[in-house]
Amino acid sequence: MSADAPARRPARPRKPRKERVNPPTEWLYAHRDRIFAVMMIGWFMSLMDVSIVNISIPELEHDFETSLATVSWVANAYNLVFAVMLITAGRLADMFGRKKFFMIGLFVFTLGSGLCAASWNIGWLIGFRALQGFGAGLLAPLGFAITSLIFPPQMRGRGLAMIAVVALAASGMGPVIGGVLVETLSWEWIFIINVPIGIVGLFLAWRWWPETYDLSAPRQVDWLGVVLLSSGVGLLIYGLVEANVRGWGNASVLFFLEISIVLLIGFVLWQRHAKVAMIPKALQSNRQFLSANAAMLLLGAGALGALFLLSITLVNLWGYSQLEAALALTPIGACGLVMWPVVGKGADHLAPYRLAMPALLSMALGMLWFSFLPATYEGQLDYLVVLPGIILFGLGVGTAFPAINVGAMGAAIGPEVGVASGVVNTSRQLGAALGIAVLIGVFTMTSGWYFDAKVDPVEDKAYVWAVPDPLALGLVGKNLGEFAGAIPREQHAPVGFDRWLRRQSAGIARDSLGWAFRGAALLLLLAMPFARRLTRTPEEVRAIAMRAMAAARAAAAAAAAGASAPEPALAGAGAAPPAPAHAPPPGPGTSPKIGALPGTGSSSVTARIAELEDALRTLREQVDRRGGNGHTDGRGAE
């Protein structure tokens, strides 16, 4: 190097990363009430906003002078972005800090709420709803994760059941609160109400929440997994939503669904081989966790799809207002609250399947009862006829969701709770989208069958009234569109032939909705085999994990002892000096978690290590095998 060459500047030292430290477990347990209360603020608002907007759709359609298909995206945009973010946000929060992600999510959600209230046209409202869903997707996965961290193992089932009941209450109260605000003030207030509550939640989170991490998770982000999962889930939900509008035979719908399936299969394959997987390998092989998510998918499809159909039936077929329909469905939320003491008491010591199985059966019976509803609403007696079905459904909803949540989150151990919470929430959202699409498809298909069966009677009656056949059949199609919610319902009292035709159309819609409700019952029954595999309570899963960890530590200690042990004496050498008389006798090779270890009498360090490794391998096999199959008594005692 020449003398006049400029000297190379020394490299700037890298700033060391901030060390991730979790607060002591005892501190989390001692402060669980206020941490849980702050979490419930964001959790309640994010889930309430899934349903609160539905009741304002007719008002938005009128104010913005647009079509029902366009206004429906005010709800769909939120649900789509919300579902896309859940797993990704849960994993990133584990890696970079749960408090940080909760506060960012609550800030974005609050900002989006204010912007929604200030929207000047329908396009901006849809965009701001997507922003609101982005914030909700950041904070919602932390609900189950934080609950699993702040409740001790013997109370964890109760905490997970409590948060599921809060979610049920939020979904049930959304339409009622929305109806009151829309009828007394205006639609803007369903968004304005979130702003002061969100500000209070941000302040309390800043003051009260500790920062927690998954200390075992690397800070390297699985970007390929993020892209595959987000695009796959997004396109799947978009395709299911559009299938309700365009039909299942539409080329665009089929394209979106096919691409989403390819992307999701690619995500699953990538997670099995990725060095830094987005979903930990332990969760991928956890049979109870996988079974719980399969049950949650089918439960979301059957329960949330049925709730959507119940609203359509009451509003479009029976002529209820949105607020009247919300009040008519309040027994569902009320029954959930009634079941909370039972669920909360049993969640900690009963296997989740003991609660989930009867609940799923109750929901299926409720839907079967409701499928025989009257075609038209003539008075309070008609509502009383279907009320037992609504109560059976509500009792099941209030038990099944908490029980399956406990089964899923109870199977996730310690650091995995964030991403596990995201997976459970995503399963529920995908199930809802799938259930609505499938049940509407059942309604559409069966209404076509019943319409064909009514052609001859309608034409005969039209001949008597001197009405052209195409006009009469067209009126039947228009009535069916109103009953399905595809076009706004006209409030009028038809007479003569129109009245007869209206009743025939209502009969077709009632019979078709009946088959859709029976389809919902079938989805709920299909969830039962998966729910039956939820045999472990959170405390039992943690006990097995602690036993495996104790065995691992014992093996590591034995290996270290073997490495530092002196060489054995040569033949003829003097015997080793005896141990001092005051030295304590060697331990019998027991552990408070494992009990007596095999081979404790062996004098060979190598044999001892091999025996400990065998014990650890056996314990791990028990975790994998019994986490999915379990014993018939649900307690898992050896």
- Mean pLDDT value of segment 81-86: 80
Domain membership flag for residue 409 = no
Domain hosting 477: range is 446-516
Report pLDDT digits (tens) over 33-58: 888 888 888 878 877 877 777 777 77
* Integer Cα distance of 489 and 471 in angstroms: 19
The size of the chain, in residues, is 638
Q: What is the pLDDT of residue 636?
A: 39
pLDDT band at 638, cuts 50/70/90?
A: very low
**Which carries the bigger pLDDT value, residue 166 or residue 579?**
166
Domain membership flag for residue 436 = no
Residue by residue, DSSP assigns 138-193 as: HHTTHHHHHHHHHS-HHHHHHHHHHHHHHHHHHHHHHHHHHHHHHHHS-TTHHHHT
Burial of 204 (0-12, 13-18, 19+ CB in 10 A): middle
96 and 65 share one domain: yes
Domain membership flag for residue 196 = yes
229 and 203 share one domain: no
Count of the separate structural domains present in the chain: 4
Q: What is the dihedral of CA 174, 178, 181, 186, to 10 degrees?
A: 150
Query: In the predicted model, is pLDDT for residue 513 greater than 60?
Result: yes
Query: In the predicted model, is pLDDT for residue 311 greater than 50?
Result: yes
Last residue of a domain, one of 182, 198, 217: 217
Domain membership flag for residue 468 = yes
pLDDT band at 542, cuts 50/70/90?
A: low
Query: In the predicted model, is pLDDT for residue 612 greater than 60?
Result: no
> What one-letter code names the amino acid at 296?
M
- Mean pLDDT value of segment 500-508: 82
**Which carries the bigger pLDDT value, residue 198 or residue 148?**
198
117 and 264 share one domain: no
103 and 31 share one domain: yes
Query: In the predicted model, is pLDDT for residue 297 greater than 80?
Result: yes
Domain membership flag for residue 96 = yes
595 and 484 share one domain: no
Report pLDDT digits (tens) over 222-263: 788 788 888 888 888 888 878 777 777 788 888 888 888 898
**Which carries the bigger pLDDT value, residue 153 or residue 209?**
209
Q: Of 210-214, 284-288, 542-546, 624-628, which range is least confident?
A: 624-628
**Which carries the bigger pLDDT value, residue 258 or residue 83?**
258
**Which carries the bigger pLDDT value, residue 69 or residue 452?**
452
The dihedral sign for the CA sequence 578, 584, 590, 591: negative
* Integer Cα distance of 520 and 500 in angstroms: 30
- Mean pLDDT value of segment 155-183: 75
Report pLDDT digits (tens) over 169-179: 777 777 778 77
Q: What is the pLDDT of residue 529?
A: 92
**CATH number of the domain residue 173 falls in:** 1.20.1250.20
**Triad 409, 415, 417: Cα angle to 5°:** 25
- Mean pLDDT value of segment 194-223: 80
Q: What is the pLDDT of residue 628?
A: 47
Q: What is the pLDDT of residue 326?
A: 79
Q: Going by C-beta distance under 8 Å and a sequence separation of 6 or more, which residues neighbour residue 322?
A: 54, 55, 58, 175, 178, 179, 182, 315
Q: Of 236-250, 321-335, 422-436, 542-556, which range is least confident?
A: 542-556
Last residue of a domain, one of 279, 296, 313: 279
Query: In the predicted model, is pLDDT for residue 547 greater than 90?
Result: no
Q: What is the pLDDT of residue 441?
A: 81
Q: Going by C-beta distance under 8 Å and a sequence separation of 6 or more, which residues neighbour residue 57?
A: 68, 71, 72, 74, 75
b/e burial code for range 76-89 (CB count within 10 A of at least 16 → b): bbbbbbbbbbbbbb
Q: What is the dihedral of CA 149, 151, 152, 157, to 10 degrees?
A: -110
pLDDT band at 565, cuts 50/70/90?
A: low
Q: What is the pLDDT of residue 559?
A: 63
Q: What is the pLDDT of residue 433?
A: 80
Query: Which whole-number Å values give the CA distances from 502 to 319, 453, 478, 536, in the listed order?
Result: 13, 16, 10, 53
Eight-class DSSP state of 7: P
Domain membership flag for residue 433 = no
- Mean pLDDT value of segment 154-172: 73
Q: What is the pLDDT of residue 581?
A: 45
553 and 463 share one domain: no
Domain membership flag for residue 291 = no
Q: What is the pLDDT of residue 522?
A: 93
Query: In the predicted model, is pLDDT for residue 76 greater than 60?
Result: yes
Q: What is the pLDDT of residue 416?
A: 65
Q: What is the pLDDT of residue 521?
A: 92
Q: What is the pLDDT of residue 563?
A: 56
Highest mean pLDDT pick, 257-271, 490-504, 612-626: 257-271
pLDDT band at 190, cuts 50/70/90?
A: confident
Identify whether the C-beta of residue 310 lies closer than 8 Å to the C-beta of residue 485: no
**Which carries the bigger pLDDT value, residue 134 or residue 182?**
134
211 and 234 share one domain: no
254 and 211 share one domain: no
147 and 253 share one domain: no
245 and 192 share one domain: no
Burial of 378 (0-12, 13-18, 19+ CB in 10 A): exposed
Q: What is the pLDDT of residue 360?
A: 92
- Mean pLDDT value of segment 352-357: 87
Strand partners, 259: none
pLDDT band at 557, cuts 50/70/90?
A: low
97 and 194 share one domain: yes
Q: What is the pLDDT of residue 14?
A: 56
pLDDT band at 582, cuts 50/70/90?
A: very low
Domain membership flag for residue 342 = no
**Which carries the bigger pLDDT value, residue 540 or residue 310?**
310
Burial of 592 (0-12, 13-18, 19+ CB in 10 A): exposed
- Kindly state the percentage of the chain with pLDDT values over 70: 75
233 and 196 share one domain: no
- pTM (2 d.p.): 0.73
Query: In the predicted model, is pLDDT for residue 134 greater than 80?
Result: yes
Please, what is the average pLDDT of the chain?
Answer: 75
Highest mean pLDDT pick, 137-146, 167-176, 512-521: 512-521
**Which carries the bigger pLDDT value, residue 50 or residue 621?**
50
pLDDT band at 633, cuts 50/70/90?
A: very low
The region, left, alpha or beta by phi > 0 then psi within -120 to 50, assigned to residue 496 is left
